[in-house]
């Protein structure tokens, strides 16, 4: 099969990195880099004339435009890798999923941490988690502020929780606050599953320094994953002794891994690592968390 012809639509902060990875890939032909801002575009500001000339597209436009752009691509028979979240509403997400299925097209969602080697090793260990604790803190940046911290940052970790959990969600509670913007800037969610396991997920975009920590507790053991440094720390019970060990991984380029996985799915029409359905599940949980936070703020008049 010839190399898929790729267009990157939207070359803001993330889009420019996507363009770099596909331009460098030996398995793709990057034919167009398109953006509404002429100063960033190298192949024009309108993606529609390219839809008949490409096999696949990376959609990295602002979240509010995801549905329109992805829909146009799918209707034209173009495979899509869309940045998270898949869309702004579940109705939009369902429409895109139905269209992709009807057309037999790949719809992959950019939940990048699934390609972190530390997280992949953690998933491969298997076993039922008792408690999952995830913390993601970041300094404030104007980019991403078009949505709240739940859709901007926490949705990454909600996706990881769903990948680790072994049972359906039974109950969700959440709290959060506005700090620097009119949207939620800091949030915490507690997710209880039908098998008794619990996840606590915290996200903030008003931190002084970035933090990305994930801890999974199981019977007789726990694992701490430093997703920033891509390493795992294991603590196990061996008889009456506590045994500690560390597992480091060769530094991986997660964005490159995601691009290559998308290309493999396009060439083989196999399911990608993060499907549109999984992107929809993460969106549904994120929207529920955001709604619960807003309801709590309204009750307290803040």
Alpha carbon distance 50, 72 (integer Å): 11
Give the chain's length.
302
Say if residues 81 and 262 touch (Cβ distance below 8 Å): yes
How far apart CA 159 and CA 287 sit, in angstroms, is 13
Q: What are the structure tokens assigned to 111, written together? A: 């939940």
Q: What is the pTM of this model?
A: 0.93
pLDDT at residue 1, as a whole number: 63
pLDDT at 209: 84
Residue by residue, pLDDT tens for the chain (302 residues) are 689 999 999 999 899 999 999 999 999 999 999 999 999 999 999 999 999 999 999 999 999 999 999 999 999 999 999 999 999 999 999 999 999 999 999 999 999 999 999 999 999 988 889 999 999 988 887 665 678 999 999 999 999 999 999 899 999 999 999 998 888 999 999 999 999 999 999 999 998 888 888 999 998 899 999 888 899 999 998 888 999 999 999 899 999 999 999 999 999 878 899 999 999 999 999 999 999 999 999 998 77
Tell me the C-alpha distance between 211 and 150, whole Å.
16
Return the pLDDT at 162.
97
Strand 211-218's sheet: what is its strand order?
Answer: 169-177, 186-193, 198-204, 131-137, 211-218, 221-226, 231-238, 241-248
Q: What token pair was written down for 13?
A: 């902060």
How many Cβ atoms from other residues are within 10 Å of residue 126's Cβ? 8
DSSP label of 4: P
Evaluate whether 86 touches 95 at the Cβ level (below 8 Å): no
d(CA 187, CA 162): 18
Tokens of 72: 């146009």
Cβ neighbours for 150, distance < 8 A, ≥ 6 positions apart: 176, 184, 187, 189, 203, 286, 289, 290, 293
pLDDT at 93: 98
Residues 6+ apart with CB under 8 A from 241: none
Full set of structural domains in the chain with CATH: 5-105 (3.40.50.720), 114-251+286-299 (3.30.360.10)
DSSP 96-165: HHHHHHHHT--EEEE-GGGG-HHHHHHHHT----SEEEEEEE----STTTTS-HIIIIIHHHHHHHHHH-
- pLDDT value at position 211? 85
Return d(Cα 263, Cα 269) in angstroms, integer.
Answer: 9
Alpha carbons 201 and 293: distance in angstroms, whole number = 13
In 3D space, the residue among 155, 153, 174 whose CA is nearest the CA of residue 291 turns out to be 174
């Amino acid at each position: 099969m010839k190399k898929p012809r790729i267009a990157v639509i939207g070359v803001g902060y993330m889009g420019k990195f996507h363009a770099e990875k596909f331009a460098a890939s030996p398995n793709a032909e990057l034919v167009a880099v398109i953006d509404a801002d002429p100063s960033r575009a190298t192949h024009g500001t309108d993606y529609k004339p390219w839809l008949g000339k490409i096999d696949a597209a990376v959609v990295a436009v602002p979240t509010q435009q995801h549905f329109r752009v992805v829909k146009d691509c799918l209707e034209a028979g173009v495979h899509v890798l869309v940045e998270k979240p898949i869309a702004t509403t579940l109705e939009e997400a369902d429409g895109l999923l139905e269209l992709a299925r009807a057309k037999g097209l790949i719809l992959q969602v950019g939940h990048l941490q699934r390609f972190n080697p530390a997280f992949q090793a953690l998933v491969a260990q298997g076993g039922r988690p008792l408690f999952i604790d995830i913390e993601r803190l970041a300094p404030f940046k104007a980019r991403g502020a078009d949505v709240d911290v739940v859709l901007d940052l926490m949705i990454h970790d909600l996706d990881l929780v769903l990948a680790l959990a072994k049972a359906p969600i039974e109950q969700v509670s959440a709290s959060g606050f506005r700090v620097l913007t009119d949207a939620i800037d800091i949030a915490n969610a507690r997710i209880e599953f039908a098998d008794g396991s619990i996840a606590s997920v915290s996200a903030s975009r008003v931190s002084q320094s970035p933090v990305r920590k994930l801890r999974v507790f199981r019977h007789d053991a726990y694992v701490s994953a430093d997703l920033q440094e891509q390493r795992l720390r294991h603590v196990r019970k061996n008889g009456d002794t506590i045994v500690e060990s560390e597992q480091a991984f060769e530094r991986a380029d997660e964005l490159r891994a995601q691009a290559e996985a998308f290309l493999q799915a396009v060439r083989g029409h196999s399911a990608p690592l993060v499907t549109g359905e999984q992107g929809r599940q993460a969106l549904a949980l994120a929207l529920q968390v955001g709604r619960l936070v807003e309801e709590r703020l309204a009750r307290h008049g803040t």
